[in-house]
Structure 1
Amino acid sequence: MTAIRAFITGAGSGLGRAFAQQLAAKGAKLCIGDIDAVAGQKTADECGGHFVKCDVRIEDDLMAAAAWMQAEWGGVDLLINNAGVAQMGALADTSLEDWRWIIDINLLGTVNGCKAFAPHLAQTKGRILNIASMASFLHLPNAGSYNATKSAVLALSETLMLELEPQGIKTHVACPGFFRTDLAQNMRAGDDKARAMTARLVERSRSGANDVATRILDGMDRGEARILLDKRTRRALQMKNWLPFPRYLNGLRKEVAKLEARMTRAS
């Protein structure tokens, strides 16, 4: 069986690195993209892959990566738009500069990847995996910019499921919750409380990047278009879809209060 040829953004660390390691173990040929040349090259060396320095905010970087894979490997079978950042804080404490920063990376970075690779994926009847979040539909307060960009990634992905289908491209979108990764280390925050809350949510999660990557790849293997990783995530979406919105909102208020109380306790 011919090895799949995959390109992964943000693969120098965290979830992207976990994807690379697991795909390499399955025999995939990997092109690793990351803005951090040292971390990205390390992942490539570990996985026997090729590294390209890639800032997802720059369309030409993605176009160059796609062109390299076409020229050197004859095409690409899988694109994983994994690169992402977090920005936490109340609306009043979040600058327009921070809004532009997170939109450029989380949303437009995903758009850039899809636009650059779609023509090549059409040739191989390949796949796109976009990494959204549980925040795509569970909109906690003090996370407006993150919620908005991840909701947009989900909307874009569901659009492409139908738009790219006639070209033979299958689109998947994953919506993980908080898991142990370096997202909190690289995030921006409007205030210290928002930063501390996010760090605690990440640090106290039961899931790590390797576990999340495994479940997402398993979901792709099962052919799931929208990959919800656990019962809690599926239940949250069901409650939002099924309950009258005022009742749902009241329940969310109670859950937020419980969460804040739990996060303020000593570890």
Structure 2
Amino acid sequence: MSAPRRVLITGAASGLGAALADAFARRGDDVLRTDVSFDAGTVGSADGPDGRRLRLDITSEDDWAAARAWVEETWGGLDVLVNNAGVAGGGRLDVAELEEWRWILDVNLLGAVRGLRAFVPLLKAQGSGRVVNVASLAGLVHPAGMASYNAVKAAVVALTETAGHELAAHGVTAHAVCPSYFRTNLMSSLRGADTALASVMTHLVERAPLGAEEIAAAVLDGLDRGEELIVPDDAARAAVALKRDDRSAYDALLRAQAAKLEGRA
């Protein structure tokens, strides 16, 4: 049996982050659950009722530095960094405010960048490790009304691929996770001026066939296989295949969706 891995997960209070933390823990890994909603203070023990918990605001470089200090002092290293925390957003190009763009960029992209800046030196020094960045199907397939979300998630995919190339010589792998809609509480973070888009996104999340636990299980299976791009559900794989194999049909579908969104406004 392999030794337990040391895993840090952001956004682990609920949703996919909590499901991933539970999935790693069931495998016997030692998990540090981090989230901006956790109280500041001690993290507790691995076998406590809540496991190890640490407050981490991914927009705070100080919080990232504190997380790295805890990892070094307690574990002496890290095997898996999971940049999962993020927010929902979007809006049509003439509706979304520029401040919405700044907000989602700071959280969904620069949050992962800060995590890499904090832990890449440690991973390179130890000569091993995995970086897992939770992006979205929106990073690969780009529906109307979601320009800011699409853009930052595509950037996370690009960031992950770059990290994989850059860190390969140091024994570190990088993996981007791109699920379609699944049932989660992500929509509680949604903000923005485009109420028509908010209605559509909320409906798609609430009606999604899969929950966070099923996506988490598929992510761990993808990591077991060493997949650098993990597309964990059938709906996401079908959308990627349509874009790859029949671009005209893909464009027609998304333009029809764009017209429908405009009609809802």
User: What's the TM-score, normalizing by structure 2?
Assistant: 0.90
Which residue does the alignment assign to 2:61?
59
Cα contact 2:130–2:172 (8 A) shared by 1:
yes
Q: Which of the numbers 168, 171, 189 marks the counterpart of 2:174?
A: 171
Deviations along 1:122-180, one digit per CA (max 9) or x if unpaired, are 21511010001000121111111110100000010111111111111010111001100
SS at match of 1:91: coil
Give the letter aligned to residue 60 of structure 1.
D
Deviations along 1:27-54, one digit per CA (max 9) or x if unpaired, are 1111121110159979x854522x2211
CA distance in 2, matches of 1:223, 1:25: 20
Structure 1 unaligned regions, length at least 5: none
Which residue does the alignment assign to 2:189?
186
CA distance in 1, matches of 2:154, 2:13: 25
Structure 2 unaligned regions, length at least 5: none
CA distance in 2, matches of 1:46, 1:152: 37
Cα contact 1:172–1:225 (8 A) shared by 2:
yes
The alpha-carbon deviation at position 59 of structure 1 amounts to 1.8
Residue 223 in structure 1 maps to residue 223 in structure 2: no
Residue 22 in structure 1 maps to residue 23 in structure 2: yes
Which residue does the alignment assign to 2:210?
207
Residue 143 in structure 1 maps to residue 154 in structure 2: no
CA distance in 2, matches of 1:95, 1:253: 23
CA distance in 2, matches of 1:26, 1:251: 41
Q: Which of the numbers 100, 103, 120 marks the counterpart of 2:102?
A: 100
Cα contact 2:35–2:54 (8 A) shared by 1:
yes
Give the letter aligned to residue 251 of structure 1.
L
Which residue does the alignment assign to 1:252?
254
Give the letter aligned to residue 205 of structure 1.
A
The alpha-carbon deviation at position 255 of structure 1 amounts to 5.4
Give the letter aligned to residue 212 of structure 2.
A
CA distance in 2, matches of 1:212, 1:66: 27
Give the letter aligned to residue 66 of structure 2.
A
The alpha-carbon deviation at position 113 of structure 1 amounts to 0.7
Cα contact 2:39–2:55 (8 A) shared by 1:
no
Identity fraction in percent: 44
Give the letter aligned to residue 65 of structure 1.
A
The alpha-carbon deviation at position 19 of structure 1 amounts to 0.7
SS at match of 1:2: coil
SS at match of 1:118: helix
Which residue does the alignment assign to 1:78?
80
CA distance in 2, matches of 1:199, 1:39: 31
The alpha-carbon deviation at position 242 of structure 1 amounts to 3.8
The alpha-carbon deviation at position 215 of structure 1 amounts to 0.3
CA distance in 2, matches of 1:217, 1:19: 8
Moved segments of 4+, more than 4 Å: 38-42, 44-47, 255-261
Cα contact 2:86–2:108 (8 A) shared by 1:
yes
Q: Which of the numbers 118, 121, 129 marks the counterpart of 1:119?
A: 121
Which shows bigger deviation, 216-225 or 233-242? Answer: 233-242
CA distance in 1, matches of 2:76, 2:68: 10
The alpha-carbon deviation at position 115 of structure 1 amounts to 1.3
Residue 8 in structure 1 maps to residue 13 in structure 2: no
Specify whether residues 231 and 255 from structure 1 end up closer, same or farther in structure 2 by C-alpha distance, changes over 3 A only.
farther
CA distance in 2, matches of 1:128, 1:145: 24
CA distance in 1, matches of 2:262, 2:232: 23
CA distance in 1, matches of 2:190, 2:238: 28
Specify whether residues 85 and 120 from structure 1 end up closer, same or farther in structure 2 by C-alpha distance, changes over 3 A only.
same
CA RMSD for the aligned pairs?
2.4
Cα contact 2:82–2:131 (8 A) shared by 1:
yes
